[in-house]
Chain A
Amino acid sequence: MAKAFKETLNSGKFVVTSEIGPPKGTNLEKLIHHIDLLKDKVDALNVTDNQSSVMRFPSLGTCLLIKERGGEPILQMTCRDRNRMALEADLLFAYTRGIKNVLCLTGDFITIGDHKEARAVFDLDSLQLLHMVRILQSGKDLGGNELDGAVEFCAGATVTPEANPIEPQLIKFEKKVQAGAEFFQTQAIYDLDNFKKFMKYVRGLDKNIKILAGIVLLASAGMAKYMNENTPGVFVPQVLIDEMATAEKGKRVQKGIEIAGRLIRQIKEEAICDGVHIMAIGREEVVPDILAAGGL
């Protein structure tokens, strides 16, 4: 059995999480393979919730699978598809099945995905969701009613250290800290000098805030450029784009792994933050290689 993520967080060790994207459909072969591949190599596995607003096998169902196979899941929950009642009910169920970690997200907007005409719910925002977890934990629901049996979660949130403008993002970050977020997984980080500035601010705020730096695998120079232009809050420095461009075809992912490994090493060696969250975005296969390159 995997160690409870909360315990790992408080153990002082360098924390490593990764991410699994459920399939579109009921063929779980690949998903189970990825779970088995990663469950013992990382401290916890996030499961995305209809990632990028694309309908998929549910996060909750995948978390159950991870649990069954002896891994430690982090249930990602967005506010896009369910109202407060549905979110509460899902958390009650998750808790009874031993899922004890939840990542509270607002969620991408509906129109970027594959059900563009669907109603976007957003009954809550990420901060209200975080508060909701704490309210359920106190033995009540959002309607103020008593629960017969409460929940207990290690609840986390996200932050985008490269957001522009950064000030409103930091105000929201501080509100999440006040709401009792126990860990933060950041948007992709590539420029460690910028990230160090962000971490200096975080440490000034509260030394106990756990930050896991987001590591997104670069697959090509084109992808890096695309993210700079199209993904809000992601900034890949030119030197890394140039470095990716030097890799010949067929060796680009290898180059990406090398860069990710180098970032992880530096973060760990300089103790810049408390751990890393590795997102291979559809390339779960190479996560063990990234871990090896990062000396983990």
Chain B
Amino acid sequence: MIVAERKPLEDIREMIAGYKKILIVGCGTCVTICWAGGEKEVAVLSSQLRLASKKDGNELEILEATIERQCEKELVEALKDKVQQVEAVLSMGCGAGVQPIAEIFPDMPVYPALNTTFVGMPEGEGVWVETCRACGDCFLDKTGGICPIVRCAKGLLNGPCGGTNNGKCEIDSEKDCAWTLIYRRLEQQGRLDAMRKYYPPRNFQAVIRPGKVETLPA
């Protein structure tokens, strides 16, 4: 899933300063799960913005809408009635959600309320960790299902650097050294030979950026 965090209120207020009526759009998929931009977060941000503008004596009316997925144009089109009533849209989707809204309503200023951080998974309650860099050339077969491109700070392919610190990373003692994890996993499976191989430099054009995939349904 895509993980995001809300921008600081101050930054959001700066973006929408001067507008008297806005629409805040939530997204019902990934960012709902990671508590960043679902229906509830839309309501909380609306309330905060109303409180802040009242405090400063500014007029601000807010409409709210949360759609299933902001990254699907058909679903975004359903926002038309509400979009027509406002001066600006504040999207609480990931970056891939902000852009379809901007594309479908090209006359409307669309602002991001979130910082999209990574592709990851939940680790515990309220904790998400990055697990995929979407590099287009999956390496997990060689590393026991643990991605060194994203879970090693330096993205090393051929084993740990000298900064391995008792199984933790030298730059953050809270984070595991990916290569220690990989070593243990491969050892457990009797596959350490995979680690003894030399892996040449990555192909950074495995996905030609900006990425585009054309495919047919199965």
Asked if the two chains touch in their complex, CB atoms less than 8 Å apart, one says yes
In the assembled complex, how far is the CB of residue A238 from the closest CB belonging to chain B, in whole angstroms? 18
The reply to whether A165 and B167 contact each other, CB–CB distance below 8 Å, is: yes
Find chain A residues with CB under 8 A from B199 CB: 128
Find chain B residues with CB under 8 A from A127 CB: 158-159, 198
A159 to B192, CA, bound (A): 20
The residue in chain A whose Cβ has the minimal distance to the Cβ of B158 is: A127
Given contact pairs A128-B200, A164-B166, A175 touches B183 in the complex (Cβ within 8 A): no
4 A-B pairs with least C-beta separation: A172-B159, A232-B165, A168-B183, A127-B158
Interface with B: A68-76, A104-112, A194-202, A262-270, which one? A104-112
B145 within 8 A of A: no
The reply to whether A128 and B171 contact each other, CB–CB distance below 8 Å, is: no
Interface with A: B7-15, B66-74, B101-109, B149-157, which one? B149-157
Interchain residue pairs with CB less than 8 A apart (16)? A107-B154, A109-B153, A109-B163, A109-B171, A122-B154, A122-B155, A123-B202, A125-B154, A128-B199, A132-B201, A160-B162, A165-B183, A168-B179, A169-B162, A169-B164, A172-B158
A98 within 8 A of B: no
A117 to B167, CA, bound (A): 26
A288 within 8 A of B: no
A109 to B170, CA, bound (A): 9
B63 within 8 A of A: no
A126 within 8 A of B: yes
Which A142-189 residues have C-beta < 8 A from chain B?
142, 158-160, 163-165, 167-169, 171-172, 174-175, 178-179, 187
The reply to whether B198 and A122 contact each other, CB–CB distance below 8 Å, is: no
Which A76-103 residues have C-beta < 8 A from chain B?
79-80, 84
A178 to B180, CA, bound (A): 22
Find chain A residues with CB under 8 A from B187 CB: 167
A268 to B208, CA, bound (A): 54
A187 to B160, CA, bound (A): 14
B96 within 8 A of A: no
A78 to B180, CA, bound (A): 22
The reply to whether A122 and B156 contact each other, CB–CB distance below 8 Å, is: yes
